A and B are shown apart, each in its own frame.
Chain A
Amino acid sequence: MNELFNFNDTWIVVEQNWWLVLLSLALGVWVGWVTCSRENNPAQG
């Protein structure tokens, strides 16, 4: 259990999988963008 919460040198994970993190970031940006446009769409009512 202790090992599960041992996050020392966790930055290595990002360095080794930077493309996956970047992909998640891009996906997040897209989701945020789409969500905002739906909320601001006056055609909803």
Chain B
Amino acid sequence: MSGEGKRLRRLITSNPLSMFGLVTATIFVVLAVAETVTFGKITPFNPYQVNFDQANLSPSLAHFFGTDFEGRDIFSQVIAALPVDIGISVAVVVVSALMGVVLGTLAGYFRGAFDEVIMRLTDMFLAFPQIIMSLAIAATLGPSLVNVSLSLIVVWWPPYVRLVRGAVLAVAAEDYVSVSKALNSSFLYIVRKDALPNVLPSVLVYATTDIGSALLTLSTLGFLNVGIPPAMPELGRMASNINYSLFLYPTQVVIPALVVMVMVAGFSFLGEGLRESLDVKLRPHILIRGRGLEKFEDSQQKKITGPRPGPRTDESH
């Protein structure tokens, strides 16, 4: 285990992109967890405390990000918003990935009518702008964190089904799966031993980047004042009072939006960097089994010294 951990660490630290992503994402996740575990004790001020004497202050040492139009400390609000933003994004991605793994495996393995139905369904969901659908659902269901998560999950699962189904289709065509079938292995056994190890790495890498996208969409819902309960601090919504503070007090709206950007960049750089180092399309076993890295490094070596005139692309489509 520790050997694999070491390899994974080397894999991440070898690429500046994933290194930056890892550091940023970790900082935000740790802050969010600390905020949740201590029940909001780590914020320097009470994020809900209205104080009109101190309204619209610029960033200073006392108030790192300044205060908003009601005198609430923006830094504290940002910290208080992290559990909501990160929590929902992670939940949405995890549930979608699980749905994708289950539905995609079933569709890719059994084919037939079920596959057909699932694929047409994903086609339809992918055909229109996701955000409109989740806006509509969130607006009709009314503001609550569960409803927001639901509205995002409804539009979030189709890419995962496609990803998993494609990988399972490829695996199911392999000889070793046919042999396994001939040996009368059960469906679950084949899935566990053959399909999942090939599928999970790409799902994990995609999901890492996707947490960022979920965060973007979630904060956009917040920005449009849809779905997030009124008293809940949320980064997108903090950025939404542009009508009266954009030109007068730009920091009030720009800072929360910048925090979203940095957070999203963290997750997507991490995912992108992992994808680059792993080239998951071709070497999916590295992450899970941990034994492929030597080969990977060998092939990297070959790229430099070998007969190929130039490096291959390490990006999958």
Query: A and B: real partners?
Result: no
Residues of A within 8 A of B (CB): none
